[in-house]
A = this chain, B = another copy of it.
Amino acid sequence: MPEFFNVLPPADAFEVVRANVAARTEPELIATADALNRVTASEVLSPEFLPAFPRSTMDGYSVRARDTFGASEGMPAYMEVVGKVAMGRAVDVNLATGQTAEAYTGGGLAGGADAVVMVEHTQVVNDTTIEVVRSVAPGENVVQVGEDVRESEPILPAGHVLRPQDIGGLMALGVTEVNVNRRPRVAIVSTGDELVPPSEKPGAGSIRDINTFTISSLVTQAGGVPMPQGLAPDEFEAQREAAVSGIAQADILVFSAGSSVSSRDMTADVIGSLGEPGVLVHGISIRPGKPSIVGVIDGKPVFGLPGNPVSAMVVFGLLVRPTIYLLSGCPEPPEPATVPARLVRDIASQTGREDHVPVKLSRQDGALQADPVFGKSNLIYTLVRSDGMVTVPLDAGGLYAGDEVSVRLY
């Protein structure tokens, strides 16, 4: 029986990808409004100062701060109201000593003013006079020019995944287009004589292809563009043809099934035949998912994922997801959502192997409990019926009922 070749822990297997894949997808300039979740291809510098004029942070009155010094409830400062600074207009009021003008949150200050008194700390005496009952320091309740961002200041690094507030932040500076890396394209070849498309009724001994769709959805979630290549039977030439075509169109090639070492498993041979350096890792020290392949062909990463859906999802998360981010220019993918929970049953493992176990969450007296869903890992609905996964680290012999664990939500 053939043997696995270069079995590595998952983190080391990903380092093999990182070390052998230098290229990032090319940059493209797109509308900032459409850039949510895209990855910046270069550092973004601010083209201007933000704010561009001193802005009040409160509704109230702009003043020369020294005119309020010593003001209190018992001894208010009387000030003359000489106008207001309307929102969105040029400032056309200037203050002399003892004068003030109405100011609005986000609006400008009167000429000569250096602070704002909150409306709550004033009392209207008559149409042109107010009492100020608390003193303000120079700059109080004011955002200064460039206090948020200075011109030419770096505002976003390269390799940053754009979030809603980043989109808003770019718009605030008039940056309506942004330079991002193209979404990596991921070709998916699903192999096996037993597979039929989901729209067909499987004949005797056949089943529907599901991994093409699960993997496509995972690619989309990770910011890639899935490119399903259809089904390939368990024949070397057919698989090689699908792979050659897939890798020509895509940045990453993923095989589903055929990654083990039995006579039917020819993914490693197919990858080996595609180019250099070929298969670099065959076997990952995890359960489930051991029979996985990492290869590189002419600078493009190639993965062989096990056919069983639980294994495929685990290995995708550990290797393919970070590779999609890496090619997008983001060396550290965003953290997946996790929740803390208490384990309700032991999980056996062995040191030197990382275990990933689906769990079902439930609430008991307000606290989250994680119940491992053991079942055969080739049951498809194990993943549908669970809420997330718990990891038993490489150096642990297992986890125990009562342990506090971090559940990675799907």
List A residues 1-43 near B (Cβ within 8 Å).
1, 32-33, 36
Which of A207, A234, A336 has the largest number of chain B CB atoms within 10 A? A207
Please measure, in the bound complex, the distance between the C-alpha atom of A315 and the C-alpha atom of B184, giving whole angstroms. 34
List A residues 279-336 near B (Cβ within 8 Å).
307, 309, 313, 334-336
Write the nearest CB–CB distance from A310 to chain B, whole angstroms: 9
A193 close to chain B: CB less than 8 A: yes
- A60's nearest neighbour on chain B, judged by CB, is B262
Is A168 a contact of B264 with CB atoms below 8 Å?
A: no
- A204's nearest neighbour on chain B, judged by CB, is B90
Please name all residues of chain B whose beta carbon is closer than 8 Å to the beta carbon of A195 when the two chains form the complex: 88
Write the nearest CB–CB distance from A208 to chain B, whole angstroms: 6
Query: How many interface residues does chain A have, given as a range?
Result: 35 or more
Please measure, in the bound complex, the distance between the C-alpha atom of A50 and the C-alpha atom of B385, giving whole angstroms. 14
Which of A89, A198, A234, A337 has the largest number of chain B CB atoms within 10 A? A198
Please measure, in the bound complex, the distance between the C-alpha atom of A216 and the C-alpha atom of B215, giving whole angstroms. 28
List A residues 135-180 near B (Cβ within 8 Å).
143, 147-149, 155-156, 163-169, 171-174, 176
Write the nearest CB–CB distance from A213 to chain B, whole angstroms: 5
Please name all residues of chain B whose beta carbon is closer than 8 Å to the beta carbon of A220 when the two chains form the complex: 36
Is A217 a contact of B107 with CB atoms below 8 Å?
A: no
Select which of B169, B204, B378 is within 8 A of A91 by beta carbon: B204
Which of A55, A155, A156, A163 has the largest number of chain B CB atoms within 10 A? A163
Please name all residues of chain B whose beta carbon is closer than 8 Å to the beta carbon of A32 when the two chains form the complex: 198, 213
Select which of B106, B205, B376, B378 is within 8 A of A192 by beta carbon: B106
* Contact flag A168-B86 (CB < 8 Å), given A32-B213, A262-B105, A338-B338: no
Please name all residues of chain B whose beta carbon is closer than 8 Å to the beta carbon of A69 when the two chains form the complex: none
Main SS of chain A's interface residues? loop
Please measure, in the bound complex, the distance between the C-alpha atom of A321 and the C-alpha atom of B216, giving whole angstroms. 26
Is A107 a contact of B155 with CB atoms below 8 Å?
A: no
Please name all residues of chain B whose beta carbon is closer than 8 Å to the beta carbon of A169 when the two chains form the complex: 210, 380-381, 383-384
Select which of B1, B108, B193, B380 is within 8 A of A205 by beta carbon: B108
Is A106 a contact of B307 with CB atoms below 8 Å?
A: yes
* Contact flag A381-B164 (CB < 8 Å), given A88-B205, A90-B205, A260-B105: no
Please measure, in the bound complex, the distance between the C-alpha atom of A33 and the C-alpha atom of B376, giving whole angstroms. 26
- A338's nearest neighbour on chain B, judged by CB, is B338
Please measure, in the bound complex, the distance between the C-alpha atom of A193 and the C-alpha atom of B334, giving whole angstroms. 38
A379 close to chain B: CB less than 8 A: yes
Given contacts A171-B198, A171-B209, A338-B339, 15 further A-B contacts (CB under 8 A): A1-B120, A50-B381, A57-B378, A85-B205, A87-B192, A87-B264, A105-B262, A106-B192, A106-B194, A108-B204, A149-B380, A164-B410, A168-B211, A335-B337, A337-B338
Give 6 A-B contacts (CB < 8 Å), ordered by A residue. A148-B379, A166-B384, A172-B207, A174-B200, A334-B337, A335-B337
